[in-house]
Amino acid sequence: MFPWKRAALLLFLLMAATPAKSIEIDGKIDPTEWRDAERITDFRLNQPMSLAPAPYPTEAWLMATPKGLAVAFRCTQPASIARTRQRTQRDEFAPHDRVNVYLDFDGDGRIGYHLRVSLSDGIGDATIANENEISGDWDGHWLHATSETESDWSAELLIPWHIAPMREGENGKRRLGIMLDRVVGATGERMAWPAIEFLGPRFISGFNKVEVPAYSQSLLALTPYAVGLYDNVDGSSDVSTGLDLYWKPSGRFQLGATINPDFGQVESDRLTVNFGAIETFYDEKRPFFTENQRPFDVSFGSLDSSNRLIHTRRIGSLTADGGGSTDVGAAVKFNGNIGRLNYGIFAADEDGAAGRAFYALRATRDFAAQGLGMLWTRVDNSGIDRRADVYALDHRWTLAQGWSIRSAVVGSRIEADGARMHDSGAQLRVNVDNGNDWRQQLYLLHLGADLSLNDFGYLARNNLNEARYSVSRRFTAPRTAGYAAIDWELEMAHLRDDRGNALVTQAKVNRAGNLLNGGQDYLSLSGSGSYIDDLITRGNGSVRLPPKLSVYYERFSPKQENRSVDWFWYARYFAEGPDGVDSGGVELYVEPKYHFSDHLNVSAGLLVQRNPDWLLWLDGDRLATYASDLVQLNLSSVWMIGSRQELRVRLEALGLDADARRGLRARADATLVPIAGPVADFALRTLGFQIRYRYELAPLSHLYIAYVRGGSFANESLGGVRGAGEEFLDAFSLRDSEQLLIKLVYRFEI
- What is the rounded distance in angstroms from the CA atom of residue 229 to the CA atom of residue 744? 12
pLDDT at 10: 41
Question: Could you tell me which residues are beta bridge partners of residue 611?
Answer: 628
Contact 459, 449 (CB under 8 A): no
- What is the rounded distance in angstroms from the CA atom of residue 392 to the CA atom of residue 410? 4
**One-character DSSP codes across 475-530:** E---GGGTEEEEEEEEEEEEEE-TTS-EEEEEEEEEEEEEETTS-EEEEEEEEESS
Contacts of 16 (CB under 8 A, 6+ apart): none
* Total residue length of the chain: 750
HEC string for 428-440 = EEEEEEEECCEEE
- Helix (H), strand (E) at residue 257: strand 253-259
Kindly give the parts of the chain with pLDDT less than 50: 1-5, 7-20
pLDDT at 16: 40
- What is the rounded distance in angstroms from the CA atom of residue 378 to the CA atom of residue 145? 44
Question: Could you tell me which residues are beta bridge partners of residue 134?
Answer: 128
- Helix (H), strand (E) at residue 378: strand 370-381
- What is the rounded distance in angstroms from the CA atom of residue 359 to the CA atom of residue 345? 8
Where b means 16+ CB within 10 Å and e means fewer, 239-252 reads eeebbbbbbbebbb
- What is the rounded distance in angstroms from the CA atom of residue 347 to the CA atom of residue 292? 14
- What is the rounded distance in angstroms from the CA atom of residue 411 to the CA atom of residue 426? 9
pLDDT at 723: 85
Fold of the CATH domain 19-216: Immunoglobulin-like (2.60.40)
The model's pTM = 0.88
The C-alpha angle 327, 331, 335, rounded to 5 degrees, equals 155
Nearest 5°: phi and psi at 577? -100, -175
* 205 three-class SS: helix
- What is the rounded distance in angstroms from the CA atom of residue 33 to the CA atom of residue 411? 54
pLDDT at 88: 84
Nearest 5°: phi and psi at 517? -90, 10
292-305 pLDDT per residue, tens: 888 888 889 887 77
DSSP 8-state assignment for residue 325: B
For the chain, the domains span 19-216
Number of other CB atoms surrounding residue 31 within 10 Å = 7
pLDDT at 37: 93
pLDDT at 87: 84
